[in-house]
Structure 1
Amino acid sequence: MLSGLLTHSIGSLNELTKLYLGKNQINGRIPSEILSCSKLQLLDLGSNRLAGEIPKELGLLSSLEISLNLSHNQFSGEIPSEFSSLGKLGVLDLSHNKLTGNLDALSSLQNLVSLNVSFNGFSGELPNTPFFHKLPLSDLAENQGLYITAINSSDKTQSESHKKSVMKLVMSILLSTSVALVLLTVYVLIRSHIANESRAQADSWEMTLYQKFDLSIDEIVMNLTSSNVIGTGSSGVVYKVSIPNGEILAVKKMWLLTSSEESRAFENEIGTLGSIRHKNIIRLLGWGSNRNLKLLFYDYLPNGSLSSLLHGSGKGKAEWETRYDVILGVAHALSYLHHDCVPSIIHGDVKAMNVLLGPGFQPYLADFGLARIATGNGGGGGGDDTENSMQGQRHYLAGSYGYMAPEHASMQPITEKSDVYSYGIVVLEVLTGSHPLDPTLPMGAPLVQWVRNHLANKGDPSDILDSKLKGRSDPTMHEMLQTLAVSFLCVSTKASDRPTMKDVVAMLKEIKPIESSRVDHDVLKKGGLTSASHSSSTTIKSPSPPPRNNAVVTHGSSNCSYNFSDESNS
């Protein structure tokens, strides 16, 4: 029941080989752009309402070799002389139209096996060829002006010769088809044998477990379904899987990238998490690998990620105390990687999505697929303050947009300070409740630039805080604004201006001491709080009430400072 016109856009189907549009209600003319369908072998436009002259372009489609059906339409005029070029055509049906003139244009079509021109207005002598003399009268009916001449003996000889040629052609085709089928059968058998060997190799699993528990790799694989997906990371997709003993695991299936990338991310996680232990770093329980799959087994953490806590369905529900504990725990984890591991480890992809939350919202740093071992420029170990760079290469573009340090786009080396920058962005995200690339921020600026602009314009620092964190007591506001100052030390453009993670931990502890009895509110109101940690001094000063114009955080070993007013762009 298709209706309407054949549009000129039909010419864009330049790879089309067969077009069936018969028995519809298509009207109008055949557009000349049909010539662009240069690979068309079969065209069926029969039983429609097409009118006008048959376009000469149809006769120029040298690829037409199977069938051309224009019957039961309202075509008028003569058969285009270009139809004599359709030397490969096998079937032609022009019946039930209003065509006139003679059939001379069809006399040279040597490969025709079927022709129907009945119920038209053709006239003149029928082409004097064996094919036309043997046409059934029904295929020539209702053309009052057509007439036939007697066939002579030479025509009979030509007819017999044509029959022999056809038989030879048919036999050649049958023989070629038989050979092709034999070769195809041999090919399928060989491919099947190779596939069976590959499948046997793929089913062979290599496994290592760091904990004792009942684990069936087949049951694990069966549960890697879309309904069990709980998250994705830079190196794979994570599933929630129950094992026979009732425990629940988080299973990461590595992305199937190029073999080198996939192997590198898999080995990074095994090499890093298999050798370290920290209360704020996700625990690797084991791994399994075969030719097609690489799986990592972790503890399942029920509270999702920091990103889902901040931006999920119940976004921003966490109190300041919970958020502070999360960023302090992540700082401890990074400090452990940078200063307590020998050699030190650069995580490479610190972001809110990679901070997982366990019972009581205890944070765990996860996704070590981009982690790298760092080597000290001066030969320092993991516990030194010597700045390290990634082993084996000066630069390495890795991480997530919005969290990557500026040195990723320059000729500077990637060091632990790159992790510090990403951590600073996470702290800003926690304080503001906005994603680093939040499109709703003014002028479409990234989060860090928006905060810088706000403070450069002498805006109230408290205005950038998450609305769910506002309206707290002065001591709490003081803690949040001091944490904001620490975050801006971390996101300094120059890597050398950023504090180490050991210093960040010290500063955060001074902002909100672990034991509440240590907090001297009288001292806070006077603007001073001093302590010593890791053989270095930390001083945090802020006026009371909570600062609008000026706040300074200094650390002896880092030589870092931030000012909320005139120098906020420095």
Structure 2
Amino acid sequence: MALLHYHLLSFFFLTIASELGLALHSQDLLSLFSFKASVDPLNTSLYTWEGSNPCSGLWVGVKCYQGRVASIYLDDASLVGSATPLFGLSQLQVLSLRWNALSGSLPHLTNLTNPRLRHLFLSHNQLDGTLNISLPSLLSLQIEHNDFSGGLEGLQLPSVEDFNASANRLAGEISGGLSKFPSSAFNGNPALCGSPLPSCSKISHLSDAANTSPSPAPTVVSTCSSRSLSKLGLTALLSVSIGDMVVIAMALAIVAGMYTWFKRRFSMPRNAAAGARGLELHHGFAEEKEETDSRLVIFEGGEDMRMDSLLKASAEVLGKGISGSTYKAVLEDGIMVAVKRLSGVQFPSHSKAFNQRMHLIGRLRHSHVVSLRAYCNAHEEKLLVYDYMPNGSLHSLLQSNRGRNLDWRSRKQILMGVAHGLNFIHTFPARPPLVHASIKPSNILIDEHGNAGISECSIMCFATNFQCQSLPPHASTLFPQGMNAAAASTWHGYRAPELSVGKGKATQESDVYSFGMVLLEVVTGKEIDDGECGGQMMGMVKIGMMCTAECPDERPKMSEVLRMMGEFL
């Protein structure tokens, strides 16, 4: 009888546990479907979210642990709506929703609602409201480029190691553990103060001074006719004395002389990072004109950049290739940038098409695309100024100790980053569609967190004897068709077969081929050390083989590559 009671009791508890597990699983399912209904009502991005098992491995972007949803990666997935339902996933550890159009406010996040959340990536959306996040175990919080407002006192994050709240509408004092982060984590919030930004007392003093100073007369756009000007007397027009005019002329002469001396004194040699001398500043997106060809064009994030700062920057050679030399430049304010000086042999053209394409590339902003901050297209120099990536290129990592320092987790992180970046480039709203044209390990750069960024997008489209399908004929046929031997050597092993010497144009399909070759190199360079790792590697090899199909039409699009990678990893 006792044995019977024992079996009945065991069956009872097993039944309760099973039903409890199903209930928790159903709660995850409800949260996921609620999120899908909010952000993808047309079922175009989350079409794989079907059925009753989000842990089947078929749901794009969803990863599970012990039957519960643990990670969601949906960067750049064209999602529009509210992310709130996902915070109902009590076992969620990683949530990455960067580069979408999500809106609304965030709920109050605490250990009671999200006890396991470690990494929260919500940058480049349209989220607003105040921040109330009290998660002692949260390690990463990236919320830059949103519309959050209010103060930072609602953030209780004692363990956070990766933080960025730049480009919002936050206000008040930075205090506590957040002050350990650099100013770049808070830039773009004019009402924020305190270390590492200027002290609040200084800001308050300046504000008070501004408020007590006389208000300048408002600027009025005149609609008067030229006849109204006749009302000004001759005396008013001659009110500036001859002596004042002489003083002004002398001052202008002195300034012009100092400017000429400055150019000669601080101009760098032609092989230095910033070889363009005395170029004028020009903030980007103005209508293209002939005279702007010799100016420094500045894009988002490079507003504080000045040519004189580039000229005086200390330069360190990072690498040299067929496209030119790359330098690490440290500006006066300590900001580090990478300056690409294009080869005059490979890039002799001084065309409007180049300027137009750079204006387009300057708009690309994605966490896995290295941002172009400025460029100049002078007759003597072509300079490209990018964000500096401290961990060098994938090529150098693979060559260093034969890549033994790269574990499987790091390799997966790099490959997923490259896939997201290339998919962003291919789907960027441009007509004709954008082509990178030179996907290879040396153009894949690694930041301080081990994330990959694609550099030099579309640059090779303007190289001598190289053509891209995405450029109009007048831009890509300036030179004889086909790639010269030197340029071809930089592609060795990565270029698609249709781009062999004397054939074809670079296309999105050839980009996919190059990505496949990079994927195979990264995957096959790592020894298989366990079953799970081995299964993931074999899945990635299959994707690489599909990407490197000989016929371009048989290669998958990068969006499909991303979906398949999400299933295997």
Kindly name which structure, 1 or 2, has the bigger radius of gyration based on alpha carbons.
Answer: 1
Tell whether the structures are fold-level matches, with TM greater than 0.5: no
TM-score, structure 1 normalization: 0.42
TM-score, structure 2 normalization: 0.42
